Amino acid sequence: MAIEKMAEQITKQPVLNIGMVGHIDHGKTTLLWKLTGKWTDTHSEELKRGITIKLGYADVVIRKCTKCGVYTREETCKCGGKSEAVRYISFVDAPGHEMLMATMLSGAAVIDAAILVIAANEPCPRPQTREHLVALEAKGIREIMIVQNKVDLATREQALKNYEDIKKFVKGTVAENAVIIPCSAQQGVNIDSILEYICKLKIPERDIENKPLFFIARSFDINKPGTNSAELSGGVLGGVLKQGSLQIGDEIEIKPGLSMKKHNTTEYRTIKTKILALYSGNNKLDKIIPSGSLAIQTSLDPVLTKADSLAGCVVGKAGELPEIKSRVKIKTQLFKEIIGIEEKKPVEPIKFNETILLSVNTAVTVGIAAKSTGNEIELSLKIPIVPIAKSKVGIARNLQGHWRLIGWGEIVI
């Protein structure tokens, strides 16, 4: 294959979805900006407060200089040499603030690997550093690299001590053997090393033969205000294709779908529509397979998709998705201690009638414990889910007004 053809293939669809995780203000969004050139804190409230509230998304084509071998995102290297496309990556920037744990969990559902960002000028671990690492473990993420950020704000002795603290912190966890790369995102130091190591992360095996399952992480209306009704574009769904394949023209269904109030109860109606276009970043595709962040343009009225109104729903081919359930059984594994707080507190068993927060794929719902047998609990859900066997579920409990991760589970069908 000619170099031009290879580059075209590499830049068509991302091969990995990588999550940026870690404690608030440790530099995740700044690092992502240096890696991709995109600033993901784009919502006005985020810019005002300087923290990530929603999940931020950015793509980058990682390139390698043919002259000096340095990894970059630029077509022309600093040495003047030309670069070749090596790997196309999608990033998800998850919020580090303790009150936004539910958003972080839904982000963990759409990633294949993670970069855990830890500040060199602060003690390690901080509460959300611990919480995010446990969340990755709970969601089954095994490919993890650690970036020791803000080394420019620490002395050599502080940075070395922080490095040792990181090693102690990850010992016995899923990140025990993760590489630790020192960096200053603000100064752009060691960005090339991070890009190089990203190219070494394993790409998971993809299931393209099964029935398609697309998890919606966001939905939106791409039309500008005042667009003529005859020129309106259909609603867009953003997320990840977990298995199978989808192509332009496919008839699809979205569940749980549209919520409607009826006699003081909320009912959900499956939405049926057609795929008009498929996108990976700015690339228009005829067909998509699992890998990276993707977007589906539908024939839906954009009113139905604006402001993430369908986030948490599942897309499948018409007639192929399981029926939604408002009552589910989960096989649980609770942690010994509550994660995300400074003091050590044991996790109490889930009690009858207790309200807990569940993160199922990209959906977040509240469940009331109706029955428990051993490590299995039956829950009545406020918002129904599409039950997919062995789906990983994050379980959080409300403690002093904040949702705290207390364990994880698997859906039992």
Quick: pLDDT tens for 185-220.
Answer: 999 999 999 999 999 999 988 889 999 999 998 898
| Per-residue CA distances from 218 to 163, 309, 345 (Å) | 36, 8, 35
Q: Note whether 287 and 271 are same-domain residues.
A: yes
My answer on whether 262 and 304 are in the same domain is yes
- Three-state SS for 69? coil
pLDDT-derived band at 285, boundaries 50, 70, 90: very high
In a domain, 205, yes or no: no
- Residue 397 covered by a domain: yes
Q: 98-112, 166-180, 224-238, 339-353: which has the minimum mean pLDDT?
A: 98-112
Beta bridge partners of 72: 63
Looking at 317, 348, 380, the residue that finishes a domain is: 317
Q: What is the reported pLDDT for 227?
A: 81
Q: Supply the pLDDT for residue 56.
A: 61
| Residues 182 and 35 placed together within one structural domain of the fold | yes
Residue-level pLDDT at 40: 54
213 membership: H or E segment, kind and range: strand 213-220
- Indicate if the pLDDT at residue 84 is higher than 70: yes
The two tokens of residue 41 are 């804190």
Does residue 51 sit in helix, strand or coil?
Answer: coil
Please compute the mean of the pLDDT values over residues 348-365 and round it to a whole number. Answer: 90
* pLDDT value, residue 143: 94
Same domain, 239 and 365: no
Asked if 28 and 85 sit in the same domain, the reply is yes
- CATH number for the domain harbouring residue 275: 2.40.30.10
Contact residues for 83 (Cβ-Cβ < 8 A; gap 6+): 63, 64, 65, 66, 72, 74, 75, 76, 77
Amino acid at 222: I
Banded model confidence at residue 223, pLDDT cuts 50, 70, 90: confident
Residue 203 lies in a domain: no
Q: How far apart are CA 35 and CA 192, in angstroms?
A: 9
Which residue, of 262, 283, 317, is where some domain finishes? 317
Q: What is the CATH number of the domain that holds 120?
A: 3.40.50.300
Question: Among the listed ranges 4-13, 112-121, 267-276, which one has the minimum average pLDDT value?
Answer: 4-13
pLDDT at 24: 77
Q: pLDDT tens for residues 321-352?
A: 999 999 999 999 898 888 767 777 899 999 99
pLDDT digits (tens, 9 = 90+) for 39-76: 754 433 333 333 333 456 788 999 999 999 999 999 99
pLDDT of res. 48 = 37
The total of structural domains in the chain comes to 3
The answer to whether 248 and 275 have CB atoms below 8 angstroms apart is yes
CA–CA distance, 235 with 300 (Å, rounded to integer): 5
Q: What is the pTM of this model?
A: 0.83
* 155 lies in the same domain as 279: no
Asked, for residue 208, whether it belongs to a domain, the answer is no
- Same domain (yes/no): 290, 343: no
Instruction: For residues 227 and 120, state if they share a domain.
Output: no
272, burial (CB in 10 Å: exposed 0-12, middle 13-18, buried 19+): middle
The per-residue pLDDT for range 89-139, each reduced to its tens digit, is: 988 876 544 434 455 455 456 788 999 999 999 999 888 888 888 878 877
pLDDT at 7: 47
Closest by alpha carbon to 341, among 132, 127, 130, 129?
127
**Given this model, what pLDDT does residue 262 score?**
80
Whether 183 and 298 map to the same domain: the answer is: no
Considering 134, 166, 198, which residue would you say is the last residue of a domain? 198
Together in a domain, 351 and 295:
no
Q: Is the pLDDT of residue 319 over 50?
A: yes
Neighbours of 147 (CB within 10 A): 30
Q: Does some domain include residue 292?
A: yes
Domain that includes residue 182, residue range: 3-198
Same domain, 62 and 183: yes
Q: Are residues 252 and 187 in the same domain?
A: no
Residue 349 included in any domain = yes
